[in-house]
Amino acid sequence: MFNRITKSGKNQDNRQKFVGRVIEIAFVTQAIIIGIKGNLDVNSGKPVLDVIPSMITQAIELIVKTRRTQKSFDEIDRIKKERTAQNPDD
């Protein structure tokens, strides 16, 4: 029975790590897209002074989203550690 619990916990940890990696890749992809879109806008003739503030705004939104996601992952880890500390036999 203990092995089943351990395997389940490892599977959950692996899933959580996988989801974290997918989210990381999504954030990096968004950052790349912001840069490419800004470059395309400038090359299409939009004024640089209009494009740069838009890119900065998008980058700040991405940073805020990234920070919120990191906090939620930290909270999940904290709760998981507290449960493990309370129930060391599980």
Residue 67 to residue 46: CA distance in whole angstroms? 31
Looking at residue 1, its pLDDT comes to 43
Residue 39 to residue 6: CA distance in whole angstroms? 50
* pTM score of the predicted model: 0.72
Mean pLDDT (the chain) is: 86
- Say yes or no to pLDDT of 90 above 60: no
Looking at residue 24, its pLDDT comes to 93
Backbone angles phi, psi at 67, to 5 degrees: -65, -40
CB within 8 Å of 31: residues ≥ 6 apart:
59, 62
The amino acid at 64: V
- When pLDDT is cut at 50, 70 and 90, the band that residue 79 belongs to is confident
